[in-house]
Amino acid sequence: MSKPKDNLKSNGAVISAKTGTKESIINFLKKAMDKGVFDAVLVPMRVPAGDSFVYVLIKDKSLLKDVFPLPPVMSVQGAKAVSSVTRLGKGNMKIAAVMRPCETRATVELTKLGQTDLENITLISMDCPGVLPISDFLDDPNKGMKLFDDAAKKWDDKLMRPVCQICDKSSMVAGDIHIGTLGAKKDTFFIISNSQKGNDVLEKLAITLKENIDGWRAKVKNISEEKQKKRKKAHKDLKSEIGGLDNLLDTFSQCINCHNCMKVCPICYCRLCYFDSDKVKHPSEDYLQRAESKGSIRFLPDTLLFQTGRMMHMSYSCVSCGACEDACPVSIPVAQIFSMIADETQGLFDYVSGRDVEEPLPLIAYKEEELHEMEDAND
């Protein structure tokens, strides 16, 4: 994503949404496909059974009428979808990928890790009111749809997942184009460009960025500051609950080592995970020896090693998307724990995961003096 000269300091466009925001976004995508700006669109769609949403790569624009740009649950993290499409190269189709800000940020992180190629992808994000926990939605999908719609209209996060309730980056613009609904007048929304690619797309669609978006900025700032306060408190409470080895062992004692949290995480970037490799398979004598020295060992073994290993890998890039927590069959608050650790690690490097594709990963841009800062932080 090449940055435009005036980046987000620029104005936006106000788009009429008399038929509803969802329909207007669909019309925008249709128009862009009609004009050949995009060859395909990657966007969430409800599955025929109605109880889940998946990303679909749409070539036939007549199918756009069935998409859900802002679904009530995050069954698949969008960055994983972009990575599947471009992991082996940019391909020859110009694709619009429509997703939430945390999905866009994860895509940006994967780009830095060489696992997506954004040359032919235009990332389109939108203000996100959060998502419902998947387990709640599955209890009654139709009721879930209604609850989500009502809550999203009022920007009420009480029913959303715990990590969404404390997300202070729910309108962060990290992609090429952003759709802002906060602070917009009735039956309208803002379109904001965040890159030269975004500018080019909007120019081809004859959308000029001349409207003032201060109303959107002010609303986003208010919500973000409010959420930051809630986030700090939630992390403080969580730390007192799970801090220290004994508490951490208790927290992960229910872990069944299914690795769901790893499989759904967009940021888990190793091509072969150590914990899925033969390296963690030991001869029975090793287990007997360990049982002898400790009196007993649990099976499956090494659950805490798996979690701490993942934390070390992930804490620089975790975007607090909550996908891991949704996928945990035993309701361990994995995303809340990971986002707490991520805030601390990223804070040490003044890094915000996925904020900017040009911002190098902390471990790549490591400076010697940072080690001392970390020592101080650990004192």
Site residues (vs ligand SF4, CB under 6 A): 255-261, 265-267, 314, 318-324, 327-330, 332, 334-335, 338-339
Residue 49's φ and ψ, nearest 5 degrees, are -70, -15
Shortest CB 74 distance to ligand SF4, Å: 9
- Which phi and psi (to 5°) does residue 43 adopt? -155, 150
Name which of 207 and 327 has its Cβ closer to ligand SF4.
327
Looking at the Cβ atoms of 174 and 319, the one nearer to ligand SF4 is 319
Q: How far is the CB of 176 from ligand SF4 (least distance, A)?
A: 21
Q: Shortest approach of ligand SF4 to residue 342 CB, angstroms?
A: 7
Residue 353 beta carbon to ligand SF4: minimum distance, rounded to whole angstroms: 8
Q: Which is nearer to ligand SF4, 120 or 125 (CB)?
A: 125
Cα–Cα distance for residue pair 208/201, rounded to 1 Å: 11
Q: How far is the CB of 238 from ligand SF4 (least distance, A)?
A: 14
CB nearer ligand SF4, residue 38 or residue 316: 316
Radius of gyration of the chain, Cα coordinates, nearest whole angstrom = 22
User: Which pair of tokens denotes residue 153?
Assistant: 């209209």
Beta-carbon contacts of 249 under 8 Å, excluding residues fewer than 6 positions away, are: 304
Rank residues 32 and 337 by Cβ distance to ligand SF4 and give the closer one: 337
Whose Cβ is closer to ligand SF4: residue 220's or residue 328's?
A: 328
CB 130 within 8 A of CB 167: yes
The tokens 């069954």 sit on which residue? 75
> Which residue number, 81 or 261, has a Cβ lying nearer to ligand SF4?
261
Residue 117 near residue 170, CB atoms below 8 Å: no
The least distance separating ligand SF4 from the CB of residue 242, rounded to whole angstroms, comes to 13
Sign of the Cα pseudo-torsion (136, 137, 140, 146, in order): positive
**Smallest distance from ligand SF4 to CB 285, Å:** 26
**Residues 6+ positions from 316 with CB-CB distance below 8 Å:** 342, 345, 346, 349, 351, 353, 361, 362, 363
Rounded Cα–Cα distance for residues 213 and 307 (Å): 42
Name which of 171 and 346 has its Cβ closer to ligand SF4: 346
Closest CB 114 distance from ligand SF4, rounded Å: 17
Query: In this structure, what token pair is assigned to residue 158?
Result: 């009480």
Name beta bridge partners: 15: 189
β-pair type (40-46, 53-58): antiparallel
What kind and span of H or E run contains 176?
A: none
Q: How is residue 218 written in tokens?
A: 């002010």
